[in-house]
Amino acid sequence: DMKVTQMPRYLIKRMGENVLLECGQDMSHETMYWYRQDPGLGLQLIYISYDVDSNSEGDIPKGYRVSRKKREHFSLILDSAKTNQTSVYFCASSLLTGGNYAEQFFGPGTRLTVL
Amino acid sequence: GDKVKQSPSALSLQEGTNSALRCNFSIAATTVQWFLQNPRGSLINLFYLVPGTKENGRLKSTFNSKESYSTLHIRDAQLEDSGTYFCADSNYQLIWGSGTKLIIKP
């Protein structure tokens, strides 16, 4: 069963604390993504990873960094979290075929609250 | 302006009726994805389309790349169809529409 998993599903942190969000996929997809979604809005792209140790900034990378040491895992790190980083974070993965990004599959999301 | 514009922004349907949601592109989209974000927040893949039509149960989607639009038809709407429907141009990275919030009333 093709799946994207995210841990944890819910997280509460205080301002200034470090945050680690984890994502896994079992489809051997090369490309993985991190998005955030704020209430009533669509998803905003934070980072793309094309494969292990090959990451690129998305539209809103400030305040975030990522790590991809294995193809099936992609981590999002917030060093010294801020209250405006309270959001729902989605991870996704896709195949890269013929130079085009194919269908993206999404994880269930992590609801992060920064107090 | 919006590169991917969805209409309507909100819609209320009686259970058992039919409707169509629309997605207009101001960019040269070559592939389109449709998602349903259910009331629990999960993003469910509905369709991944190159130009043409796909059908899955009570849902059918058409993508016309020449006229830069895509439609999602819902037939015999059920309560579980409630949620927000997003379309996205999936050329290189997903460029999202702002969504159509659909409420199905019994």
- Give the pLDDT confidence score for residue B91 in this predicted structure: 73
- Count of domains for chain A: 1
B1 in contact with A, Cβ within 8 Å: no
pLDDT band at A100 (very low <50, low <70, confident <90, very high): low
Average pLDDT, chain A: 92
Sequence-distant (6+) residues with CB within 8 A of B98 are: A41, A42, B2, B5, B6, B9
- Give the pLDDT confidence score for residue A2 in this predicted structure: 72
Element (H, E) at B46: strand B43-49
- Count of domains for chain B: 1
- Give the pLDDT confidence score for residue A1 in this predicted structure: 65
**CATH of residue B51:** 2.60.40.10
A104 with B90: Cβ contact below 8 A = yes
B97 with A58: Cβ contact below 8 A = no
What average pLDDT does range A73-102 have in this prediction? 88
pLDDT band at A39 (very low <50, low <70, confident <90, very high): confident
User: Which pLDDT tens digit goes with each residue over B31-61?
Assistant: 999 999 999 999 999 999 999 999 999 999 9
Chain A residue with minimum CA distance to B93: A101
- Give the pLDDT confidence score for residue B100 in this predicted structure: 96
In a domain, residue A106? The reply is no
- Give the pLDDT confidence score for residue A99 in this predicted structure: 58
Rounded CA separation A40/A54 (Å) = 32
What average pLDDT does range A72-85 have in this prediction? 96
Residue A83: phi and psi, rounded to 5, are -65, -30
In a domain, residue A114? The reply is no
A27 in contact with B, Cβ within 8 Å: no
In a domain, residue A68? The reply is yes
What range defines the domain where residue B73 resides? 4-105
In a domain, residue A60? The reply is yes
**CATH of residue A90:** 2.60.40.10
pLDDT band at A41 (very low <50, low <70, confident <90, very high): confident
Closest residue by Cα to residue A32 from A82, A67, A79: A67
- Give the pLDDT confidence score for residue A42 in this predicted structure: 82
Q: Residues in chain B with pLDDT < 70?
A: 1, 92
In a domain, residue A70? The reply is yes
Q: Judge if the upstream peptide bond of residue A108 is cis by omega within 30 degrees of 0.
A: no
A109 in contact with B, Cβ within 8 Å: yes
What range defines the domain where residue A69 resides? 4-100
What average pLDDT does range A51-73 have in this prediction? 95
Rounded CA separation A43/A37 (Å) = 5
